[in-house]
Structure formats: C-alpha cells, structure tokens
Amino acid sequence: MKRAWKNQVVVITGASSGIGRATALALAKKGAHVVLAARREEPLDDLARECESHGVRALVVPTDVSDPAAVRHLSAEALRAFGHFDAWINNAGVYLMGSLEETPDDAFRQLMETNFFGTVTGTRVAVTQFRRQGQGTLVNVSSTFGAVAAPCVSAYVASKHAVRGFSSSVRQELLNTGIDVCTVLPAAIDTPLWQHTANYTGWRVRPVEPIYTPERVARAILRVLREPRPEVIVGPAARGFAAMHGLMPRTFERTMRGVTHAQHFEKVRQSPTSGSLFRPMAEGTGTSGGYRAAGKQWLRRLLLAGGVAAAAVSLRGGGAGRRLGVRVAHALAR
C-alpha cells in the first residue's frame, strides 16, 4: 500500500475481537476505511461505530471464512461499497488444544478449514482483485507456531505452518507484480483467543508468558502495510524461540514440552469444549482477553528467561549453548 493512509480501503477478517479489532481501530485512527468481517454481527456493528467516530467509513459483512462462498461475498460487498480495496488481512482464526488422540477428527478438519483454507480463499479473492488493480497488499496472520511447535497443539501448529508456507509460495509467484504478500507471526497475545479455544485436554488453558498486547500486533500489521516485508515476527519471545529452535531443535523441543505443561495448563479441570470452532461464542468481544497482569509481567519474563537460559546451558554445556541461552534469555526479558 505504501501511500498515505487517508482513503485507503482495508478488509480485515476476524475483526470482532482481539488482534483484528485492534488493527481495525488503529487503521481507522490513521484515516483508512475498513471492511469488517467475522461471524458475530453485533460486535462488528459496535466496532464499526467506533471506527466511524474517527471520520472513516466502516462496512460490516458477517462472514464465516470456512465457507468459500461467504468469503467471495465479502470481496463483492467491499467492491460494491468502495470500488476497490488496497489491502486484505486474513486474520480470522481459532486455537485448539488437545493431544493427537484427544482431538476429534472433525475438530482437526474444521480448524484447518478456518485457519488455513479460510486464508487460502481470502488470498484467492484478494489476489484476483489486486491483479485487476495492478497492486495490493495481502497480510496473512500466522503465529510463532508457524515457525516452531509445542505439544497438544498439533492441529493449530499444522494450520499456522500451512499458512506460512502457503504465503511464502504465493509471494514468490507474485514477485514484481505490484502485489505484496506479508506473513505476520505473533507470540502469545492477550486477546479473547483463549476463551474461544477449542479445548479437549480436560484442563483450563491460558497463554504462555510473556504475553504481548494486541495493539503491538496491530502496529506491526500497519508497518507491513506501509512498508511490505515478507515475514514479521511480533514479540521478542517468538524471535528467541525461533532462533533457539533453529540452532538446537532437540533442546528446544524438550524445553517447550516443559514450558507447555508448566505454563499453558491451569490447575483447573474443564470439560472438553469446541469453543468457537464450529459456532461463534457470545463471550470475548473485546480487544484484550484480560490475561496481562501488568504488575507481574517483568517478574514472569525474568523467571521464564532464567528458565530458558538454564535449560540451554544445562542441556548443551558448551560455549555455543551458553551464548545462545544468554541471547534467548535477553530476548525474553525485553
């Protein structure tokens, strides 16, 4: 997009809460018009009013991204209202926790329909229009789990690795066409994602520290809209994890297993739930999920940084392991 924000038109899927909502508000404050998509109409209407209070136009199009016809309808509505769109953000997604054996097959498949095939259909319709216009910017939201993995999230990890690989391939196809494809990989973010999670583990889950704000991801998305880049990792912890995985994959996997069991599960039983996977939930319409207890952030980061550094040093006593441990710890503590 690389031009002034004023009068740019941006389509955002998954705008009814969390990162999508934060991004829509950030764009509206800059003067861009927004097309807001998700399944829940009421929170989208509220968001549209908030965006319009900044002097821009906001169009609400209730959309289930796992339905290709609905995504095509979203594109058609955006074009009917504005005549074009400058950027399209494939952000809609659901988290799923459960071991391979706990996760029902239909849940695994629906997660891929939403997180991956929703992105594929969104990319298809956006690229079709960008070709007509001779330009456009596509942003696909992946995750740290598009670069690394943890236990009990195999469906989500598969979907986010798929988004990342798919985007890289399409980016190469579209080189020098005026169409940019950017992938954003956020670390753990404080959004309602965790309330919406499909969870078959039997335990309540919470995000793994350190947790960053959705506004931080929104700022990163706005930056790639202005200055497109192939991939952006949001949150130093995610950069630390990706670096550690690249250099010491076995150590990383052992560490992640420990971190997941110690931090991702709360010690509270919960009946299996499909969360918002098949149907949207009334809960969780805000930008934040309420997980960031600001006062304890620095302490949690310090403890996690110390834990990762200790694990790296003890499992690979050599100089390289120690240096990496210190680098990862430094990144996590920032």
**Closest residue by Cα to residue 312 from 334, 331, 298, 293:** 331
Site for ligand NAP contains 233 (CB under 6 A): no
Q: Which is nearer to ligand NAP, 8 or 63 (CB)?
A: 63
Question: Are residues 129 and 177 in contact, defined by beta-carbon separation less than 8 angstroms?
Answer: no
Site for ligand NAP contains 40 (CB under 6 A): yes
Site for ligand NAP contains 66 (CB under 6 A): yes
Residue 156 among the catalytic residues: yes
Site for ligand NAP contains 141 (CB under 6 A): yes
Which of 156, 200, 212, 291 is catalytic? The answer is: 156
Q: Which is nearer to ligand NAP, 141 or 243 (CB)?
A: 141
CB of 235 to ligand NAP, least distance (A): 9
Question: Are residues 291 and 189 in contact, defined by beta-carbon separation less than 8 angstroms?
Answer: no
One character per residue 80-119, x = contact with ligand NAP (rule: CB under 6 A): -----------xxxx-------------------x-----
* 73: number of Cβ within 10 Å: 16
One character per residue 186-215, x = contact with ligand NAP (rule: CB under 6 A): x-xx-xxx--x----------x--------
Report the distance separating Cα 123 and Cα 164, nearest Å: 13
Question: Are residues 146 and 168 in contact, defined by beta-carbon separation less than 8 angstroms?
Answer: no
Site for ligand NAP contains 158 (CB under 6 A): no
Phi-psi region of 202 (alpha: psi -120 to 50; beta: other; left: phi over 0): left
CB of 234 to ligand NAP, least distance (A): 8
Active site residues: 156
Binding site for ligand NAP (CB under 6 A): 13-20, 38-40, 63-66, 91-94, 114, 141, 143, 186, 188-189, 191-193, 196, 207, 276, 280, 284
